[in-house]
């Protein structure tokens, strides 16, 4: 079939942007380029794959799960229903943390990525700084299987530990970075596509979404060196609460919060025994 015919076929049941993106990915083209090639005949193999994936999208599956792939920080990550699909905000968490690592730490830095899911945070930091000592941990064995796939694909040397928060963590780290579950069970804004497809273990938290920040902050110093950085992704409306929890449990810290590209406060960085200048 021609590109134009496949686009028409897809547009009957799926949003036209998704159809275009799907076909562009399969043809290794930019979506805009498709319109310049509308009369090109598509290889049968790709046509079959396109129709298969279209069926998954029709069933309400996110494109990334249908493709079993997503791009995070320019790297390809395998994803499926066992893990959260990495988000743009999390790229910003990684980018800022990477800057802090380079600015305030020197050699032999130990990083714990708590609730690693696909491994996107810890593996990207390791990719960017090969000398980091990175540990990925998660309570979900399913998620850790996905993180392992990504570790092998990216060929990065990291440790992987199954752990309910710090239960099986016996080391001390310089940096704990985490994007924990933070959606309140009462949240009415959650999209159906997310609610129906992504693991609820990765999404929801008690205590108005603050459960994990509270649990992590109340015990984290047992797993941190004297000089440390804690890097949190937070929900768009959780800045004050998370800052209050940090001040409740930790002494002599310096806190920096940052907004994401949409202008929502999304990151909390907690420093101890580090002279911050920014």
Ligand X SMILES: C[S@@+](CC[C@H](N)C(=O)[O-])C[C@H]1O[C@@H](n2cnc3c(N)ncnc32)[C@H](O)[C@@H]1O
The residues binding ligand X (CB under 6 A) are 84, 86, 90, 115-118, 120-121, 138-140, 143, 164-165, 179-181, 201-202
Least distance (Å) from ligand X to the CB of residue 203? 7
Least distance (Å) from ligand X to the CB of residue 143? 4
Least distance (Å) from ligand X to the CB of residue 265? 17
Of 44 and 141, which has the nearer Cβ to ligand X? Answer: 141
What is the C-alpha separation between 176 and 181, in angstroms, rounded?
A: 15
What is the C-alpha separation between 131 and 213, in angstroms, rounded?
A: 28
Of 84 and 101, which has the nearer Cβ to ligand X? Answer: 84
DSSP state of 86: P
Per the CB < 8 A criterion, the answer to whether 203 and 194 are in contact is yes
Per the CB < 8 A criterion, the answer to whether 181 and 204 are in contact is yes
Of 19 and 118, which has the nearer Cβ to ligand X? Answer: 118
- The Cα-based distances of 277 to 95, 223, 238, 269, 272 in angstroms read 18, 25, 25, 14, 13
Beta strand 70-72 with 183-184 is unpaired
Least distance (Å) from ligand X to the CB of residue 16? 28
Least distance (Å) from ligand X to the CB of residue 202? 4
Burial class from Cβ neighbours inside 10 Å (0-12, 13-18, 19+) for residue 18 reads middle
Least distance (Å) from ligand X to the CB of residue 34? 29
Per-residue DSSP letters for 104-151?
H--SS-EEEEES-TTSHHHHHHHHH-TT-EEEEEES-HHHHHHHHHHH
DSSP state of 163: -
Of 24 and 139, which has the nearer Cβ to ligand X? Answer: 139
Of 10 and 115, which has the nearer Cβ to ligand X? Answer: 115
- The Cα-based distances of 22 to 11, 76, 260, 268 in angstroms read 11, 16, 27, 35
Of 55 and 206, which has the nearer Cβ to ligand X? Answer: 206
Least distance (Å) from ligand X to the CB of residue 32? 28
Of 101 and 112, which has the nearer Cβ to ligand X? Answer: 112
């Amino acid at each position: 079939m021609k590109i134009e015919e496949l686009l028409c076929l897809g547009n009957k049941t799926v949003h036209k942007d998704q159809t275009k993106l799907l076909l562009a990915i399969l043809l290794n083209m930019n979506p805009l380029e498709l319109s310049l090639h509308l009369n090109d005949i598509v290889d049968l193999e790709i046509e079959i794959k396109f129709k298969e994936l279209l069926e998954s999208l029709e069933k309400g599956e996110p494109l990334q799960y249908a493709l079993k792939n997503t791009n995070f920080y320019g790297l390809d990550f395998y994803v499926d229903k066992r893990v959260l699909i990495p988000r743009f905000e999390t790229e910003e968490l990684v980018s800022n943390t990477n800057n802090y690592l380079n600015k305030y730490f020197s050699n032999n830095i130990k990083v714990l990525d708590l609730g690693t899911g696909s491994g996107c945070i810890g593996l990207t930091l390791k990719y960017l700084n090969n000398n980091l000592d990175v540990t990925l941990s998660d309570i979900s064995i399913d998620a850790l299987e996905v993180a392992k796939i990504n570790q092998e694909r990216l060929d990065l040397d990291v440790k992987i530990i199954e752990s309910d928060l710090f239960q099986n963590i016996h080391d001390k780290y310089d940096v704990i970075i985490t994007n924990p579950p933070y959606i309140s069970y009462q949240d009415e804004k959650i999209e159906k596509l997310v609610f129906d497809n992504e693991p609820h273990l990765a999404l929801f938290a008690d205590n108005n979404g603050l459960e994990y920040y509270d649990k992590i902050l109340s015990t984290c110093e047992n797993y941190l060196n004297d000089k440390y950085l804690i890097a949190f992704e937070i929900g768009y409306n959780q800045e004050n609460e998370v800052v209050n929890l940090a001040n409740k449990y930790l002494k002599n810290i310096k806190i920096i919060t940052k907004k994401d590209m949409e202008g929502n406060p999304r990151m909390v960085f907690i420093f101890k025994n580090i002279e911050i200048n920014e």
